Amino acid sequence: MLLFRIGPRHLFFRTDEADIVTDFLVTNLKGEITDFWKAFDKASENSTICYITGIDYEKTYVEDAKRIVLINDGSSSILCSIISSPIAKLLQKVDMGPATVVMRIAGDEHKMAEKLKEIFGGKEVDWIEGIGIGEKDDTIIALTRRVLNGPVADFLDTKLLISKPIREVQEKLRLEGFRLITQNLDDSQWYELRINIYDSYGNYFKHYDRLMFVLSKLEMGMVLGESWTKDFGVILYSVLTYQVRLFSFHTPIEIKKILMALEYSIEGNRLVDFDLYYKNKKIYWYEVNKNRGKGKTKLDEAKIYRQNLYEKLSPEDIKTLEEMEKSIKF
């Protein structure tokens, strides 16, 4: 479960030959011409956003860019390729902008920003301002509620420009990040949950695989352990279940919605029982949405949560999940 990761680097190229330099970045370094916001939509921690500007600037800013090129490679590798190529003589100057760290949070973003200021100092900025005034040894911390295992473009309003190099910021977050996330939760705690998997047809591990696939894609928490156990659904009658212990900052209600989405196929067929326990108390489906309309069934609610789940997954992930479900016999 990632709590923070590196964001894209920023390179500014000053040249009188913007078209030639752009063509080199696209043709030789497999770059993509884009605009600022679309670049963030696609950029990963291994990406660099390149800004090609005119010459004779005392300092270049995002707004000065004639072209913006996204390259899925590190800034050092890009600079090495340019230095050893004929394109280098067309560049008046190359500047490196600040590094970026993307931090996933739950709770109040402003409370988190204040805690980060206590540790790092810095000032609140927006993206374009921070990249413009930041230097190569500065770092911007951006906050999000999204998972960090792919490109992230859905940032919260608060960004913090820190006058410290990325290495120092990373080291400090490795030490303090978990504590910061915990203190910023609404009730300052994580949840230790138990998920019991029961299937009368015996497809335990196919359902386990689906569960782990979705939990990992959404980065819902950390698995503390798993084992076979007995579940007493009816007094004096037990059934064998496979239990997963999950440690998460998501509430039991949030996790229960994910489980309900996976209990039924997209066609509405019942696939499995996923029972959720918190502090030895079972979380029932009717506790999830107490404002549901009269007469709404568990299947009705599960369809809603299935749609919500699909909105959080990529098209490729949805296809994989549905292929996994097609292999289940019931």
Per-residue pLDDT tens over the stretch 53-80? 999 888 899 999 999 999 999 999 999 9
Q: Which parts of the chain register pLDDT below 70?
A: 232-237, 330
pLDDT in tens, 79-117: 999 999 999 999 999 999 999 999 998 888 899 999 999
Owning domain of residue 63:
4-184
Judgement on whether residues 144 and 293 belong to the same structural domain of the protein: no
Q: Does one domain contain both 207 and 317? A: yes
DSSP 293: P
Residue 234 and residue 166 share a domain: no
Total domains in the fold of the chain: 2
Cβ count within 10 A of residue 253: 13
Check whether residue 24 and residue 170 sit in a common domain: yes
Q: pTM, whole model, 2 decimals?
A: 0.83
Q: Of 154, 184, 214, which residue is a domain's last?
A: 184
- Say whether both 111 and 157 belong to one domain: yes
Structure tokens at 323: 């292929």
Q: What is the DSSP string of 13-53?
A: EEES-HHHHHHHHHHTS--EEE-HHHHHHH--TT-EEEEEE
- In this structure, are 24 and 146 located in the same domain? yes
Query: Among 139, 158, 184, which residue terminates a domain?
Result: 184
To the nearest 10°, the Cα dihedral for 84, 7, 115, 131? 60
Describe the crossing of helices 252-263 and 298-312 by its angle, rounded to 10 degrees.
Answer: 100
pLDDT given for residue 235 in this prediction: 57
Of the three residues 134, 163, 184, the one that is the final residue of a domain is 184
**pLDDT value at position 123?**
93
In this structure, the answer to whether residues 168 and 214 fall within a common structural domain is no
Q: What is the pLDDT of residue 295?
A: 77
Pair 51, 17 in one domain:
yes
Half-sphere exposure in the Cβ direction for 307 (13 Å, CA): 5
- Give the Cα separation of 189 and 138 in Å (integer): 32
Q: Read off the DSSP letter of residue 286.
A: G
What CATH number did the domain enclosing 265 receive?
Answer: 3.30.70
Residues 71 and 214 in one domain: no
| Residues 170 and 232 both lie in one domain | no
Residue 43 sits in the same domain as residue 73: yes
Tokens, residue 226: 């798993």
Would you say how long the chain is, in residues? 330
Residues 224, 175 share a domain: no
Cβ neighbours of residue 210 closer than 8 Å, sequence gap 6 or more: 262, 321, 324, 325
